Amino acid sequence: MKAAVVREQSGPFLIEEVRDPEPAEGEVLVDVAACGVCHTDLHIHDGSVPFPKPCVLGHEVSGVVAAVGAGVTSLAVGDRVAGAFIMPCGRCLQCTAGREELCEPFFAHNRLHGTLYDGRTRLLDQAGEPIWMNSMGGLSEQAVMPALAAARIPAMMRQAVHAIETAVQLEPVNPVYLRDAGKLAKLAGLSAKAERYFEQALQWDPQNVEIQSALAELRAGKGEAGKGFTLFKKG
């Protein structure tokens, strides 16, 4: 497969052919559909955050499960998933106490040494030499991660709307208001389901020209409704 490999501090992202990774016990292999670039990636790239090289960066991953390792029952081939930056082992003191964000093996193995929790990377170049993984090494065509680090995306879920509903616990009867700038709200505006939120907003601010325009644009299918807005619950 192809991966974007960084071989030196502040060096180029080299698109290289590397060996196809395989999931070990408790892990999944994901065909990467998209991967964002975080400031953590940039800090590793420029040396602000120490990390071994060569490496593959990228932890803001979404994709489709291509294979599962032994013992994995929570996910199946074909599931759409999003990966977690901090990949919980599920067994350490912190994980079992419900503090997966402090997972001890993650920080001991992955953040310091670029490996998964058996001390091995899943990425090798064509000569069999190791390439270290920042989290799952998502800037590649495929990525291996612990199954606990992959969250299944419901088939009909619109990510932005689901996130907003979860964050502010919106129900169909809740009025909402939109203001200021926000990427998540732009995504919500791109979703057809967002229409009812614009309609509710207009119910208690019917003279708001920006909301009127956004709703009209959404209905017209221009795909830019919601740009520059964030959502929050009234009160």
Q: Which domains does the chain have, with CATH numbers?
A: 2-152 (3.90.180.10), 159-233 (no CATH)
pLDDT digits over 197-216, tens only?
A: 666 666 766 777 776 776 67
User: What is the pLDDT averaged over residues 142-166?
Assistant: 72
Nearest to 230 by CA among 186, 167, 194: 186
User: What is the pLDDT averaged over residues 159-174?
Assistant: 50
User: What is the pLDDT averaged over residues 57-81?
Assistant: 94
Q: Count other Cβ atoms within 10 Å, centred on residue 157.
A: 12
pLDDT of residue 74: 92
Q: At what angle do helices 159-168 and 183-190 cross, to 10 degrees?
A: 120
Higher pLDDT, 115 or 228: 115
**CA 174: distance to chain centroid?**
28
* pLDDT of 166 over the 90 cut: no
End-to-end CA distance of the chain: 51
CA distance linking residue 138 with residue 4, whole number of Å = 9
pLDDT band at 155 (very low <50, low <70, confident <90, very high): low
CB within 8 Å of 125: residues ≥ 6 apart: 5, 16, 18, 19, 54, 131
CB within 8 Å of 199: residues ≥ 6 apart: 215
User: Is 32 in contact with 150 (CB distance < 8 Å)?
Assistant: no
pLDDT > 70: percent of the chain? 69
For residue 127, give both structure tokens: 């000569």
- Classify each residue of 52-79 as buried b or exposed e, where b means 16 or more C-beta atoms within 10 Å of its C-beta: bbbbbbbbbbbbebbbbbeebeebeeeb
Nearest to 41 by CA among 120, 136, 141, 142: 136
pLDDT band at 176 (very low <50, low <70, confident <90, very high): very low
Q: 229 burial class (0-12, 13-18, 19+ CB within 10 angstroms)?
A: buried
Higher pLDDT, 36 or 160: 36
The pTM for the full model equals 0.68
**Considering only 22-36, 48-62, 212-226, which range has the smallest mean pLDDT?**
212-226
Task: Provide the pairing of β-strand 80-83 with 150-152.
Answer: antiparallel
| Backbone φ and ψ of 35, nearest 5° | -145, 125
